[in-house]
């Protein structure tokens, strides 16, 4: 095996030999890491080369760490440049909405009135068709004359005003917030998707890699907030989620 | 943006500095990199780690700077001649300080070799990630690092340091 290693050095490097640096940094997949481990155990020449690689690895880290970091003015410069950037383009959905309102604004009042009448007619026809289809598909049920399942609901509606319901005793005054730590391997796209799905926004980045998030724009009952937090805690990319003021 | 900057700016700066070899240029480079990130955040597809994406942008910007300065051709020839206030390899060897000589020789590698050595050893990027950042096939990544290491061994040997490989 030793002879083989020497021969390899003189000629083309072997596949295992090429993988040694990544084995030193621990970035090989499990299968390749096992292959390298086995080869190192068999071949002392390869093991010797691996020692050399570890020295190179340490020296490279040392060299880079000695370079220091950029001065704070680099950050100031960056954020000044960001502030000077033109306003971001609105989303495609927003653009479409604006275009549509522009289109309607361009129509004359007479055309608009005719269009509205036609739209109302189309809606009525559609409602009629749906009603007929629902009536046809309704299974035959037995009901007593005295039982009406809608009654309690209509009574409640009569008692509670149409406007927003009053806040319940257990309801939080503001939208719920939480301190969240994302998994180290969480990708930016995953975090963005999670924020979207929870209608959440990052308020600030707190200490120890935790972020303060706010969920939605409305208040929630304490049960709802607890359920949301429990759901969040189960997310694959979330390491920790705790309620925050 | 502040969180992203806070987390990655030092490594981005160091990678840029090792490529352009000029602190002022590297400082300007990181502003350009993060400004680009700000502008193109929507284009990030999430297929790779954020740090890989950032290093790829940094590399692209650094190469543009080098091309603008017309320093690219100077790179390989001048690499060994760039002045340093520290001891030269021979002196370091006299001190029997292999580590110091190693670090010195690491700075003497060509831009392509420095880049791959840093990406693998310092930024701890996998074969696939290096291929993505540098824009070369995975097999080329492996062989390029091998020849970078051979070159490093040659520089060390020329400085009188024998490590038993190759």
pLDDT in tens, B62-120: 999 998 876 555 555 555 444 454 555 555 445 457 888 899 999 999 999 999 999 99
A25 touches chain B (CB under 8 A): yes
CA distance, residue B104 to nearest chain A CA (Å) = 9
Secondary structure class of A11 (helix, strand, coil): coil
Locus of tokens 């003497």:
B108
Residues of A in contact with B98 (CB under 8 A): 55
CATH architecture group of domain B1-70:
Orthogonal Bundle (1.10)
Q: Judge if pTM exceeds 0.80.
A: no
- Cis preceding linkage at B166, omega within 30: yes
- Buried (b) or exposed (e) across B124-152, using 16+ Cβ within 10 A? bbbbebbbbbbeeeeeebbebbbebbebb
CA distance, residue B69 to nearest chain A CA (Å) = 21
Per-domain residue ranges for chain A? 2-65, 177-244
Cβ A67–B106 below 8 Å, yes or no?
no
pLDDT in tens, A9-55: 456 889 999 999 999 999 999 999 999 999 999 999 999 999 999 99
Residue of chain A nearest B106, judged by CA positions? A60
Residue of chain B nearest A189, judged by CA positions? B46
Q: Considering only the beta carbons, identify the residue of B35, B125, B146 that sits closest to A81.
A: B35
DSSP state of A221: B
Which among B39, B8, B48 is positioned nearest to A189, based on CA atoms? B48
Classify burial at B105, counting beta carbons within 10 Å of its beta carbon; exposed 0-12, middle 13-18, buried 19 or more: buried
Question: pLDDT band at A233, cuts 50/70/90?
Answer: confident
Q: Please give the Cα distance from B61 to B16 (Å, whole number).
A: 9
Residue of chain A nearest B163, judged by CA positions? A52
Which CATH number among 3.30.70, 3.40.50, 1.10.150, 1.10.3210 corresponds to the domain A177-244? 3.30.70
Mean pLDDT value across residues A66-75: 90
A177-182 and A200-205 strand pairing: unpaired
In order, the DSSP letters of A134-171 are HHHHPPP----TT--TTHHHHHHHHHS-SSPPPPPTTB
Q: Considering only the beta carbons, identify the residue of B18, B103, B125 that sits closest to A59.
A: B103
Torsion angle in degrees (nearest 10) through CA of A214, A217, A223, A224: -100
Residues of B in contact with A202 (CB under 8 A): 3
CA-angle at A27, arms to B61 and A69, nearest 5°? 40
CB B13, CB B7: distance < 8 Å: no
Structure-token pair, residue A138 = 């309704």
pLDDT in tens, A143-184: 444 444 444 443 333 333 344 444 454 555 678 888 887 877
More confident residue, A17 or A215: A17
Which phi and psi (to 5°) does residue B11 adopt?
A: -70, -35
Residues of B in contact with A18 (CB under 8 A): 142-143, 145-146
Q: Which of A31, A61, A74, A203 to mutate to test the interface with B (most CBs of B within 10 A)?
A: A74
C-alpha distances in Å from residue B106, one per residue of B3, B55, B57, B121, B140: 32, 20, 23, 12, 20
What pLDDT, on a 0 to 100 scale, did the predictor assign at position B34? 93
Q: Which of A14, A19, A22, A90 to mutate to test the interface with B (most CBs of B within 10 A)?
A: A22
ipTM entry: 0.83
Classify burial at B43, counting beta carbons within 10 Å of its beta carbon; exposed 0-12, middle 13-18, buried 19 or more: exposed
Residue of chain A nearest B45, judged by CA positions? A189
Question: Of all residues in chain A, what percent carry a pLDDT higher than 90?
Answer: 23
Q: Which of B5, B31, B101, B140 to mutate to test the interface with A (most CBs of A within 10 A)?
A: B31
Which among B25, B29, B160 is positioned nearest to B104, based on CA atoms? B160
Residues of B in contact with A67 (CB under 8 A): 13-14, 17-18
A34 touches chain B (CB under 8 A): no
Locus of tokens 């068709």:
A129
CATH code of the region B79-161? 1.10.10.10
CA distance, residue B3 to nearest chain A CA (Å) = 7
Residue of chain A nearest B43, judged by CA positions? A189
Question: In sequence order, what are the residues at sequence separation of 6 or more whose Cβ sits closer than 8 angstroms to the Cβ of residue A213?
Answer: A177, A178, A179, A180, A195, A198, A200, A201, A202, A203
Which among B123, B112, B103 is positioned nearest to B147, based on CA atoms? B112
Least confident range from A160-164, B7-11, B49-53: namely A160-164
């Amino acid at each position: 095996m030793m002879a083989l290693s020497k021969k390899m050095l003189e000629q083309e490097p072997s596949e295992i030999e090429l993988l040694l640096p990544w084995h030193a940094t621990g970035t090989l997949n499990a299968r390749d890491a096992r292959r390298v481990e086995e080869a190192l155990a068999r071949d002392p020449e390869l093991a010797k080369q691996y020692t050399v690689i570890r020295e190179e690895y340490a020296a490279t880290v040392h060299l880079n760490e000695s370079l220091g970091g950029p001065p704070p003015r680099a950050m100031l410069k960056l954020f000044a440049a960001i502030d000077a950037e033109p306003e971001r383009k609105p989303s495609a959905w927003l653009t479409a909405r604006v275009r549509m309102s522009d289109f309607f604004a361009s129509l004359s009042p007479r055309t608009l009135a005719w269009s509205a009448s036609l739209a109302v007619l189309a809606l009525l026809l559609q409602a009629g068709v749906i009603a007929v289809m629902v009536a046809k598909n309704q299974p035959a049920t037995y009901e007593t004359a005295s039982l009406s399942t809608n009654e309690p609901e209509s009574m409640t509606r009569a008692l509670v005003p149409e406007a927003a319901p009053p806040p319940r005793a257990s309801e939080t005054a503001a939208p719920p917030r939480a301190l969240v730590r994302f998994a180290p391997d969480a990708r930016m796209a995953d975090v963005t998707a999670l924020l979207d799905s929870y209608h959440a926004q990052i308020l600030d980045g707190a200490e120890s890699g935790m972020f303060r998030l706010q969920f939605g724009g409305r208040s929630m009952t304490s049960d709802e907030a607890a359920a949301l937090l429990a759901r969040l805690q189960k997310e694959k990319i979330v390491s920790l989620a705790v309620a925050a003021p | 943006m502040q969180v992203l900057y806070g987390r990655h700016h030092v490594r981005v700066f160091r990678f840029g500095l090792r490529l352009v070899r000029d602190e002022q240029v590297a400082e300007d480079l990181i502003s350009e990199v993060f400004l680009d990130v700000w502008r193109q955040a929507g284009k990030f597809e999430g297929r790779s780690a954020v740090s890989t994406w950032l290093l790829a942008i940094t590399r692209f910007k650094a190469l543009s700077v080098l091309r603008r300065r017309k320093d690219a051709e100077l790179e390989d020839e001048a690499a060994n001649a760039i002045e340093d206030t520290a001891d030269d390899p021979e002196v370091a060897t006299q001190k029997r300080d292999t580590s110091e000589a190693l670090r010195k020789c690491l700075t003497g590698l060509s831009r392509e070799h420095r880049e791959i050595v840093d990406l693998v050893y310092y930024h701890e990027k996998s074969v696939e990630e290096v291929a993505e950042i540098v824009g070369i096939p995975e097999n080329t990544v492996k062989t390029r690092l091998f020849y970078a290491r051979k070159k490093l061994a040659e520089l060390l040997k020329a400085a009188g340091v024998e490590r038993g490989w190759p």
